[in-house]
Amino acid sequence: MESIDRIALLTGGGDCPGLNAVIRSVTKAALRNGMEVLGVQDGFGGLVKGQFTLLGEKDVSGILPRGGTILGTSNRDNPFRFPMSNENGETLVEDASDIAIENMKQVGAGALIVTGGDGTQSIALDFSHLGVNVVGIPKTIDNDLMATDVTFGFDSALQCATDAVDKLHTTAESHHRVMVCEVMGRNSGWIALMSGIAGGGDIVLIPEIPFTFDGIARSIHERRDHGKKFSIIVVAEGAPLPDGQQVGWVASSGNMVLGGIGARVAREVEARTGIESRVTVLGHLQRGGTPSPFDRILATRFGVSAVEMVLNGEFGCMVALKTPEIVSVPLEEAVKNQRKVPADGELVRFARSVGTAFGD
């Protein structure tokens, strides 16, 4: 195998705490092994546009505790379906992967490290099939990526959600209200379930367990019968309504944006129980802020391991946590399915055992 002198590094998909920790660890580990790192600006779009920045020690100094990503990111750009302008000024969706590969060759990048979730890693796999030396790093607050025990970003988002549930308790109890907290997670319920357990949520609504509004109302009435005048409901943004439909809207990008289920639940609960209900939507608060110590450490381990995989020629693979080790897994294994909460799994069983209801 030819020696690799330069690595291209990009962050794709939604931002989350810990991305800068990855950028820092990849850069530092690569420099200590005689390689340079070229940061790709704004995800895969920067790869197509040829936007590279040489990263040195000074560039990554002090970024470990910072949220977001100094490279920028995008969850819209796919080089295999990229908007390009033709001679008439019309915008057409075309396969621009060959342009991205040529740009890498022009700057001498012999390998590409891709940090992101399932969509980003699926694109990484497509590049691998074209012969690009790709290594993936799993990142998503949703924790829905297969082949790894956990993704970095999740723990920080979970802390944000748990803190919110903790704080909602006091105001809910003071006013004898129902407080609905809507959290992220797309089509998986990890943030909702685990923040519900950690924060003492009374009812948790997740995509993996169908609920009914009558089921929610029944649980609230049961709590009232036991002298509990308030209730906390934690709902995942992707939890379908009883008719099976998710709540959201279509963005200008054409992608479905989930959100609004919390308000719908609050209205239905108040109508059925007569108890004043309020909703709090955490939204992008879960993506922002300082990464937790766990995420900083995991991101650092992932970054160093990704550089080691480049050195060892382990391409077409993703780093993963198989507790307690960091291992290499095929990208195909990482993206073949979404990681969902097992409806009959241990966490759900434990939650039910301490009185948490799921609206079913």
CATH 3.40.50.460 range(s) for the chain read 155-288+342-353
Residue where the block lists tokens 């995991």 = 298
Can you give the pLDDT at residue 92? 85
Q: Which of 41-45, 91-95, 151-155 has the lowest mean pLDDT?
A: 91-95
| pLDDT tens digits along 10-43 | 999 989 999 999 999 999 999 999 999 999 999 9
Task: Identify whether 142 is a catalytic site residue.
Answer: yes
Closest alpha carbon to 310 in 23, 122, 152, 110: 110
Number of Cβ within 10 Å of residue 96's Cβ equals 23
Average pLDDT over residues 35-55: 97
Q: Which residues pair with 12 in a beta bridge?
A: none
| pLDDT tens digits along 231-246 | 999 999 999 999 999 9
Pick the more confident residue, 249 or 182: 182
CATH 3.40.50.450 range(s) for the chain read 6-152+291-323
The pair of structure tokens assigned to 31 is 């420099």
Q: Which of 42, 77, 118, 142 is catalytic?
A: 142
Residue where the block lists tokens 């988002």 = 157
Averaged pLDDT of the chain: 95
Q: How far is CA 65 from CA 23, 262, 274, 282, 315, in A?
A: 12, 31, 45, 21, 29
Can you give the pLDDT at residue 255? 75
Check pLDDT > 70 for residue 251. Answer: yes
* Topology of the domain covering 6-152+291-323: Rossmann fold (3.40.50)
Query: The domain 155-288+342-353 belongs to what CATH superfamily?
Result: Phosphofructokinase domain (3.40.50.460)
Check pLDDT > 80 for residue 165. Answer: yes
* Predicted TM-score (pTM) of this structure: 0.93
Q: Please provide the DSSP assignment of 120-167 as one string.
A: HHHHHHHHHHTT--EEEEEB-TT--BTTSS--BTHHHHHHHHHHHHHH
